[in-house]
Amino acid sequence: MMSPTPSQDQLETWDRTHYWHAFTQMEEYEPLIIERAEGVWLYDIKGRRLLDGASSMWCNVHGHNHPVMNKAIEKQLHRVCHATSLGMSCDVTIELSKRLIDVTPGGLEHVFFSSDGSSANEVALKAAFQYWRQCDTPQPQKTKYLAFGQAYHGDTLGAASVGGIGKFHDIFQPLLFEVIRTASPDVRRLPPGVTGEAAAQYFLDEVETVLQANADELAAIVIEPLVQGAAGMAMQPLGFVRGLRQLATQYNVLLIVDEVATGFGRTGSMFACDSEQISPDFLTLGKGLTGGYLPMAATLTSNKIWRTFLGDAASGRALYHGHTYSGNPLSAAAAMACLDLFEAEQTLEQLPAKIEHLGDRLSTLAEHPHVINARQRGMVVALDLVADKQTGQAFGPEQRVGQRLAAEALNRGVWLRARPDMAYTLPPLAISHDEIDLLMDAMAAGIDAATS
């Protein structure tokens, strides 16, 4: 017997009482329930149409309900929906492995699939640790990681350990392993007069000081390239990640680049590594890998790393890590379709004009009397809100300016992820120029409403 269709009131009640939401204080949660989506638009159960200003948590790429994506998943549904990666393969997942090797930076030749970005980073952390025990010149003392202030790499225990945002993970400190940490390479904290190429060198000098003292015990450096998302869209100077690659090589430390959020066109190139012209030892991907359709993540690495895990069954060299849904065929089909669309719709080729238009609109917002640090990297824009622009005095937490801004934007048909004292948008890459205008108009109105 079919269950009756629940009413709106029932859905809202169940949403408050049964569905435990991520990063959400359920005592204060007000339901926003989406029932369908199309392109850059979300439609809720009350009939409202909302522009998806955060790409449904930074993962939607080509828009919702895209016919090419839908068709690829439906086709795979009629073939096979699940095949384990333990001792067998599936054709579409094998094809995706090769496709990812072809589109990612050179030298990355092996792909390990998982289900989410946190897990992709766990794989990289474990593999880097094990590498130093099995390489040609074993260095088992290399057990630690160099991570950055305000970093976010996920919420599993290893990923949380290298994370640097206290409110997310401090309570779990007894469960986390020790890391060596250096300050965030955030251009907002540069000393006066340090700009351009000197900015990258300023932060690289800080890193090198840490490496000089600790390289012998470091397995790897872990970095979100160009933009630290959860840190409030903290942006790094161009050239920093390229210099970090050079330092990692110089001091014999592996480099893990976490492109879970920055990959697949977000920063203007296919990967942030492309604009920095580097190839890491490990590249982790998620979010946009399937265009925001199905859970899937990947960890790519080089032949240098891979070969140290080879041996007979008795060698103990295998990577003992896995997930039930690793390489899931439905997710792989979605990822293949996502990559096809980058070519068919010339997604990257169309970005420069959109990036420029987004930047023009941001420059106008930067003149607002309560806005500082307006910043952009590709299709990611952000700004900070202050009570006094001259002194930088912050708004008090009780004023809830970020929440008020998001509420006003919602009233104007735009969904933005609320942040306490800043605003950002990271729309689907498929957004049009007119939709960018609507988005930025709503942000401007939100700033006015929140700061007046």
Beta bridge partners of 298: 113, 285
Q: Sheet harboring 218-223: ordered strands across?
A: 108-114, 297-302, 282-285, 254-258, 218-223, 144-148, 180-182
Q: What is the pLDDT of residues 336-347, one digit of tens each?
A: 999 999 999 999
Is 287 annotated in a binding site? The answer is: yes
CA atoms within 13 A on the CB side of 74: 7
- 3 state DSSP class of 30: coil
- 3 state DSSP class of 49: strand
Task: State the pLDDT at residue 281.
Answer: 98
Is 258 annotated in a binding site? The answer is: yes
In which residue are the tokens 């007119």 written? 434
Nearest to 421 by CA among 441, 393, 440, 445: 393
Query: Which ranges of the chain have pLDDT less than 70?
Result: 1-2
- Indicate the angle between helix axes 401-411 and 433-451, nearest 10 degrees: 130
Task: State the pLDDT at residue 3.
Answer: 78
Nearest to 269 by CA among 381, 104, 426: 104
Nearest to 52 by CA among 65, 40, 62: 40
Between the two ends of the chain, the Cα-to-Cα distance in Å is 55
Domain ranges for the chain: 8-62+350-451, 71-344
Q: Which two tokens stand for residue 59?
A: 């993962």
CA-to-CA separations, 32 to 11, 24, 239, 402, 450, in angstroms, rounded: 10, 13, 41, 17, 21
- 3 state DSSP class of 381: strand
Q: Could you tell me the pTM of the whole model?
A: 0.97
| CATH H superfamily, domain 8-62+350-451 | Aspartate Aminotransferase, domain 1 (3.90.1150.10)
Q: What is the pLDDT of residues 170-204, one digit of tens each?
A: 999 999 999 999 999 999 999 999 988 899 999 99
Task: State the pLDDT at residue 197.
Answer: 82
Q: For 71-344, give the CATH class.
A: alpha beta
Is 99 within 8 Å of 327 (Cβ atoms)? no
Is 152 annotated in a binding site? The answer is: yes
In 96-153, which ranges are E strands?
Answer: 108-114, 144-148
Task: State the pLDDT at residue 327.
Answer: 97
- 3 state DSSP class of 71: helix
Task: State the pLDDT at residue 1.
Answer: 61
- Indicate the angle between helix axes 329-344 and 91-103, nearest 10 degrees: 40
Is 322 annotated in a binding site? The answer is: yes
Residues whose CB is less than 8 angstroms from the CB of residue 37 and which lie 6 or more positions away in sequence, other chains included: 43, 52, 64, 65
Is 424 annotated in a binding site? The answer is: no
Burial of 191 (0-12, 13-18, 19+ CB in 10 A): exposed
Is 163 annotated in a binding site? The answer is: no
Residue count (the chain):
452
Is 118 annotated in a binding site? The answer is: yes
Is 149 annotated in a binding site? The answer is: no
DSSP 142: -
Q: What is the mean pLDDT of the chain?
A: 97
> Please, which contacts does 69-74 make with residues 24 or more away whose CB atoms are closer than 8 Å?
69/291, 69/293, 69/334, 69/337, 69/338, 69/341, 71/337, 72/333, 72/334, 72/336, 72/337, 72/340, 73/293, 73/294, 73/330, 73/333, 73/334, 73/337
Is 279 annotated in a binding site? The answer is: no
